[in-house]
Amino acid sequence: MHNPPHCLIVGAGAIGSFYGALLKRAGCKVSVVMRSDYELVARQGFQFESPLGDLSWQPDHVYQPGDIPEQAPDYLLLCVKVIPGVDRAELVRPWMGEHTVLVLIENGLDIERELAEAWPGRPLVSCLAFIAVSRTAPGQITHQAYGQLVMGNFPGGYDEHCQRLSGLFREAGIKVEESEAIVGERWRKCVWNAAFNPLSVLANGADTLTMLDTEGGEALVRTLMAEVMAVAKADGYPLPEDLIDKNIPGTRAMGAYKNSMALDYLNDRPLELDAILGNVVAIAGQHGVPVPHLETILVALKMRQPQP
């Protein structure tokens, strides 16, 4: 692939449309598969507010599920939420060509396995997005801060597909950290996600500053993060001891940010409960690591989980 690659975004919400915008900025042909907002995006594309400048863009093609693509993409970026009832392998199957590289930009732990089993022997690129971005209306995206990626092959390594894709994102203006051990990096991000995302739902959709500034709020966040770090260590992925102390000021720097789970809750959408929290508690049980605070929040969230 000497020419700019053709990229297809499956799940072009806030995350998918943001990284699609960057690939478009880098000169790629970028198409999207839309379940909702199809007609609007086909007509006027995605409109962005971002500190990176004008990221508004028009996809080369806007497909609906069931459409037949004109050509298989070089890279298929899967950016849907990992929720019960969504068969991600079947979701991407119609768009996977013989040489298509599957790229995951999704939250959670142990989310790659079902895709790796569906295409054994094929390269699978796993990415973690560190970003504050929200879909504020159909086709309208607000990017508040950050945007860097951590990227690597699952279950390990960093091949030529990662190298090419990371080069395109860097050309578009964001940082990409290369990782030979992406599972360990997922644990690192889980320290933030498993604390702030579930807690925001229990706090009725609160933003990050509200959670931190409420009396006892920062102490609770730190306790949740410490429990995740204990599980990660037991699972063979010890994390830096100062990670919590770095996470707190980094979160404050984002401003009053409503994370993705808070927005899903406020809009009566299913929550990524297992991917972000349930899998952590399950792995804790396998290793006999006590996580009383995480367990309590998991049970409480199951009570609030919108029923499909």
CB 193 within 8 A of CB 199: no
Residue 68, pLDDT score: 84
**Which pLDDT band holds residue 1 (cuts at 50, 70, 90)?**
very low
Instruction: Supply the pTM of this predicted model.
Output: 0.87
Encode pLDDT of 33-77 as tens digits: 998 899 999 999 999 999 999 999 999 999 998 888 878 999 999
**pLDDT (tens digit per residue) in 228-266:** 999 999 999 999 999 999 999 999 998 999 998 999 999
Report the candidate in 1, 39, 36 with the shortest Cα–Cα distance to residue 16.
Answer: 36
Residue 135 has pLDDT above 80, yes or no: yes
The larger pLDDT score, comparing residue 39 to residue 306, is at: 39
Q: Which residue has the tokens 């996977």?
A: 96
Q: Concatenated DSSP letters for 231-290? A: HHHHTT----TTHHHHHHHHHHHT-S---HHHHHHHTTPPP-HIIIIIHHHHHHHHHT--
What phi-psi label fits residue 142: left (phi over 0), alpha (psi between -120 and 50 degrees) or beta? beta
pLDDT band at 305; cut points 50, 70, 90: confident
The residues pairing with 176 across neighbouring beta strands, listed in sequence order, are: 149
Mean pLDDT of the chain: 94
Report pLDDT digits (tens) over 232-242: 999 999 999 99
Is the per-residue pLDDT at 140 higher than 90? Answer: yes
Instruction: Retrieve residue 13's tokens.
Output: 């919400």
Residue 106 token pair: 């999704």
How remote is the C-alpha of 306 from its chain's centroid? 21
150: helix, coil or strand?
strand
Q: Which domains does the chain have, with CATH numbers?
A: 6-180 (3.40.50.720), 184-304 (1.10.1040.10)
- pLDDT value at residue 304: 79
Q: In Å, what is the CA distance from 301 to each residue of 193, 207, 295?
A: 15, 17, 10
Confidence of residue 308 (pLDDT cuts 50, 70, 90): low
Which phi and psi angles does 153 have, rounded to 5°?
-80, 150
In the predicted structure, residue 11 carries a pLDDT above the cut 60: yes
Assess whether pLDDT exceeds 90 at residue 143.
yes
What average pLDDT does range 160-181 have in this prediction? 96
